[in-house]
Amino acid sequence: EAQVTQNPRYLITVTGKKLTVTCSQNMNHEYMSWYRQDPGLGLRQIYYSMNVEVTDKGDVPEGYKVSRKEKRNFPLILESPSPNQTSLYFCASNFRQAYGYTFGSGTRLTVV
């Protein structure tokens, strides 16, 4: 089944403790992105990648890192999480712009 797989689905952590949210797609898509969803704000792009080793900042990149060492994987790294990063996170991949993105099932992150 064609899909984007994110892990974990839920995560509660403490301020300052480094964490990684994994994302993997099995569709051989070149484009991958991370979004965060907050009430009243919709979804906003954090980082994106157009191919292996090609990554760049989206609209809200502060406090996040990404890497794209393999085409299928695009992990999101929070080096020192803070409470304002409490949010619902989505990884997504895209083959062609016109087709829109396929989203993962989301990661609910709470930073206390």
Partner 1 sequence: AQTVTQSQPEMSVQEAETVTLSCTYDTSENNYYLFWYKQPPSRQMILVIRQEAYKQQNATENRFSVNFQKAAKSFSLKISDSQLGDTAMYFCAFMKQRDNQGGKLIFGQGTELSVKP
Per-residue burial over 66-100, b if 16 or more Cβ lie within 10 Å, else e, is bebeebbbbbbebeebeeebbbebbbbbbbeeeee
Q: Which of 7, 67, 102, 110 binds partner 1 (CB under 8 A)?
A: 102
Nearer to partner 1, 98 or 112 (CB): 98
Which of 15, 26, 82, 105 lies at the binding interface for partner 1 (CB under 8 A)? 105
- Return the amino acid letter for 29: H
Among 25, 33, 85, 87, binds partner 1 (CB under 8 A): 33
Within 10 angstroms of residue 56's Cβ, the number of other Cβ atoms is 10
Question: What string marks each residue from 37 to 76 as x (binds partner 1 by CB under 8 A) or -?
Answer: ---xxxxxx--xxx-----x-xx-----------------
